[in-house]
Amino acid sequence: MTPLAKRQAIAILHDEHGVPVRRACEAVRLSRAAYYRPLAEGAQLRRDQPVIEALQAKVGENTRWGFWKCFDALRLEGAWWNHKRVHRVYCALRLNISRRTRRRVPRRILQPLVAPAALNTCWALDFMLDTLYDGRRFRTLNVIDESNREGLAIEIGTTLPSLRVIAVLEELIALHGAPQHLRVDNGPELTSLALTAWCQARGIHLRYIQPGKPSQNAFIERFNRTYRTEILDAYVFASLAEVRELTSAWLYRYNTQRPHDSLGRVPPLIYRPRSTALPESTSELST
């Protein structure tokens, strides 16, 4: 109970119930000297105003900092208040209560979804999730070229962090050349500092789709549906090696044999062939 609340309780006990001031002070544990001392309205608030402003500014900049982080930072800036006073104000502002912060995805600009006329203009990336027969989960990183819908790679693993995404893209660039753009969603691996810094160093522009709008990445979403129907939902996998083997053979057939309705009913590499040849090991898997 604050001193102001104790004063109000004593006034109620004395005025409404006839309890002597001495006994009322004993009941609420406030000395009579403190009760009779004149209280200047807003005096303490005015004295603590610099502390309040400094704490609010510090917590506003660093929402996850606790009391001691804020206090030490204020001391480094030259604040002279002792820790007892700062902690009293800190608690009065209810900053000692746990603060939950929600990670907000930055607002994205709508990117046009038009099939480019040249290869390596824009690649699209997306993740998929599935399980092995024993219940272990695995993920796939799918990469296609939006120009001819060619499946460039399907990386498979239990975890696919941003550094592994970069490694896959490095291999594809060494084989096909670098793209001008990458169309991606707002997943943590694709918004990481590692990937954004790598793209900036390579001169590759990231095209983020708007949150909750998978239709803005429709080319690879259609690719994912075909891969899900013909491979992931069609087989029961005992190991990642089986997934990789079947996926590699299917990807070769998809690019060279399977007709694509939106490409005039021809495979991607017949609709718009690449100058680089496919690895021999991949073609052997299809036989």
pLDDT at residue number 62 = 83
pLDDT at 259 over 70: yes
pLDDT at residue number 103 = 62
pLDDT at residue number 274 = 86
Rounded to the nearest integer, the mean pLDDT of the chain is 88
Locate the domains of the chain by residue range.
3-92, 122-286
pLDDT at residue number 99 = 65
Which residues, in sequence order, are bridge partners of residue 123?
145, 182
pLDDT at residue number 279 = 44
The rounded percent of the chain whose pLDDT value lies above 90 is 62
Segment 77-88 mean pLDDT: 91
- Of residues 232 and 6, the one with the higher pLDDT is 232
Q: Which of 150, 155, 154, 151 is nearest to 118 (CA)?
A: 150
Residue 282 banded pLDDT, cuts 50, 70, 90 = very low
Report pLDDT digits (tens) over 49-66: 899 999 989 888 888 888
pLDDT at 220 over 90: yes
pLDDT at residue number 286 = 38
Report pLDDT digits (tens) over 113-162: 888 889 999 999 999 999 999 999 999 999 999 999 999 999 999 999 99
CATH fold label, 122-286 = Nucleotidyltransferase; domain 5 (3.30.420)
